[in-house]
Amino acid sequence: MNYLSSTTVKVILAVLLFVLIRAVVSSVALSSFSAIFVDAEFSRDSVVEVFYAASESIGFRPQFRKTSATISSNQRAETRIMLSNHVVRRLRVDIGTGPAVVKLYSIRLLSRFGPGMTFDFRQIFERFTPNEAITSFTLDKDHVLIKTDGLDPYLVLKNPLVQRNRALEYGLPFAFALFSYLLLGRFSPGRIPAIGDITTKQSSSGINIGSLDGVRGLAALLVLGQHCGLTATGGIFGVWLFFCLSGFLLATPFVKQPGLALSGTYMADYLTRRIKRIVPMYYVMIVITFLFAGKIETAVRHFLFIQADGHFWSIPQEMFFYLLLPLVMIANFVIARKNLLVSTLVLALTAFFASSLLTRDVIALYGNNAIQKAQAGIFITGSTAAFLYSLLIGKYRTFFSKPAVRWTSSTCGLLILGVCLALSATKHGTYGHLTPTEKPFYFGIAASLLILSTLLAKGSYLDKLMNLLPLRAVGVVGYSFYLLHPAMIDSVRSATVYFADYYPVRTGLFILAGIATYVVSIFTYSYIERPFIKK
């Protein structure tokens, strides 16, 4: 039975949505104004400055200031100051910069989302508070007569600004609430692919290992953590985890059926699946990031994978490995002839030589104004782990089923993770040369061993850790999460500064940006990534 089919539950959720939408409309629409008009006469040439804030608790800051053109002396004029639909809950009006006599007739705010607001001279006198630089503040005929000493005189509105618009204030929230009430009866969270796939998703190898989704979620959170300032290079280790997971999962079918390496049909399907998995969401982000910004030449180079700026640098690395993997698997099949031990050794040597020989002079991947080294060796360490895992489980299943062995595997995995995070904490100090940035191949080996330890620790605390629902949930949408998180960090910073005068750093930013990124990733995974994956 769908637990959302209950009438009581639907009504409660609809009411909550009504309250939420009404609050949002009030804070971002009915408190938004496009311009302010000040009708005044100054005894000397002056300008009017307007300071505004989006919340009653926020102070006035220079970045939220607008200035009028110069107003000629002894001439009554209504000057216009554009506010560009900013949210204005608090308002301060600065009247001139030198000693002056000011006749203030009215202050009018124009809005595109309501009737606007007008303060006539009486309302100005009642609802605005003068600061100490205003020596006289009195009513006089049809204006407020103000005398200033020239030391930054200004008026501050006593109460928060909010205008009335019944259609927006009540009609729009009611429409959303009614729609949600009708929709909830047919809604099941499990129908959202990003939610349902937490327990039902299968990789291209036809398996679903929940702990590996948890590892992917951990990798995504490590990247977010670095960009939020929690760690110096932990995000790089997170990327190496991503690479090793790709190598592990893509090699798994060849472990089960080595002959697939010689199948043209399978290889064509494999490359098609990889393109559908990576390209759609990546192209969406390139369009938003570069094409919409008018950076056409940069966008084209990103579309062709010959340039990769910012966090997109990892995508050409992935694409290069996808092209390289068939060649590696063909060579492995020819040399090892289905012998898992020999295959494991061959792949380990291949990973080492790829790391050593694929220098910038051999393969040049350009991004962030630098030539980057191809990290195929890290991917192949993940593939090596896939063959090694199959070898160990195939020959020594009983041994690795023992609780003591699983506990040991779990402990080893946590030690590996702990050491890697400790070395990633800072770029300097005694061990500053031992970071994921400086020693990528070694940290790639560590990432592969962490994956292997997690799989061998089935049922123990490391396995339970990686199977935690939050990690698995992030892991399912991990690719979208990775691509979206920088934009969401910027959005969270802007929103909290704008609406709360709060600049989140480190832990606060990590939590807020993590939640925001996950929510958006649910939709991009469900309706951009997954439709292509399932076709």
Per-residue pLDDT of the chain (535 residues; tens, 9 = 90+): 444 557 888 889 899 999 999 999 998 999 999 999 999 999 999 999 999 999 888 889 898 999 999 999 999 999 999 999 999 999 999 998 789 999 999 999 999 999 999 999 999 999 999 999 999 999 999 999 999 987 889 999 999 998 999 999 999 999 999 998 888 777 676 678 888 888 776 655 555 688 999 999 999 999 999 999 999 999 999 999 999 999 999 999 999 899 999 999 999 999 999 999 999 999 999 999 999 999 999 999 999 999 999 999 999 999 999 999 999 999 999 999 889 999 999 999 999 999 999 999 999 899 999 999 999 999 999 999 999 999 999 999 999 999 999 999 999 999 999 999 999 988 766 677 889 999 999 999 999 999 999 999 999 999 999 999 999 999 999 999 999 999 999 999 999 988 888 889 999 999 999 999 999 999 999 999 999 987 6
Structure confidence at residue 207 (pLDDT): 57
In whole angstroms, what separates CA 80 from the centre of its chain? 38
Give the span between the Cα atoms of 420 and 236, in whole angstroms.
11
How much is the pLDDT for 473?
A: 95
CB 521 within 8 A of CB 245: no
Q: Are 525 and 476 in contact (CB under 8 A)?
A: yes
Report the C-alpha gap between 521 and 150 in whole angstroms.
54
Q: CA–CA separation, 140 vs 143, rounded Å?
A: 6
Contacts of 175 (CB under 8 A, 6+ apart): none
Q: How far apart are CA 185 and CA 3, in angstroms?
A: 9
Q: What is the largest CA-CA distance in the chain?
A: 102
What DSSP string runs through 81-111? EEEEEEE-SEEEEEE-SSEEEEEEEEEEEE-
Note the helical H segments in 111-233.
Answer: 121-127, 166, 172-184, 193-200, 210-227
Helix (H, G, I), strand (E, B) or coil at 2: coil
Q: pLDDT at position 450, please?
A: 98
Burial of 159 (0-12, 13-18, 19+ CB in 10 A): exposed
Q: How far apart are CA 40 and CA 75, in angstroms?
A: 8
Token digits of residue 481: 């999460």
The answer to whether the CB of 161 falls within 8 A of the CB of 91 is: yes
Distance CA 418, CA 415 (A): 5
At residue 372, φ and ψ (nearest 5 deg) are -105, 145
Torsion from C-alpha of 480, 481, 485, 488, nearest 10 degrees: 80
Share of the chain residues as helix, strand and coil, in percent rounded to the nearest 5: 60, 15, 25
What the chain holds in terms of domains, given with CATH numbers, is 7-26+167-187 (no CATH), 31-162 (2.60.60), 194-534 (no CATH)
Res 1: pLDDT: 42
Length of the chain: 535
User: How many other β-carbons are positioned within 10 Å of the β-carbon of residue 169?
Assistant: 19
Alpha carbons 92 and 128: distance in angstroms, whole number: 9
Report residue 449: phi and psi, to 5°: -65, -35
Which own/partner contact pairs does 304-310 have at CB distance under 8 Å and 24+ positions apart?
306/366, 307/366, 307/367, 308/365, 308/366, 308/367, 308/368, 308/372, 309/367, 309/368, 310/368, 310/486
Q: Which residues of 182-221 are buried (b: 16+ CB within 10 A; e: fewer)?
A: eebeebeeeeebbbbbbeebebebeeebbbbbbbbbbbbb
DSSP label at 186? T
**Residue 392: DSSP 8-state:** H
> Which class for 449: exposed (0-12), middle (13-18), buried (19 or more C-beta within 10 A)?
buried
b/e burial code for range 105-118 (CB count within 10 A of at least 16 → b): bbbbbbbebbebbe
Distance from C-alpha of 278 to C-alpha of 298, rounded to nearest angstrom: 19
Rounded to whole angstroms, the Cα distance separating 429 from 326 reads: 42
Token representation of residue 302 = 């990103």
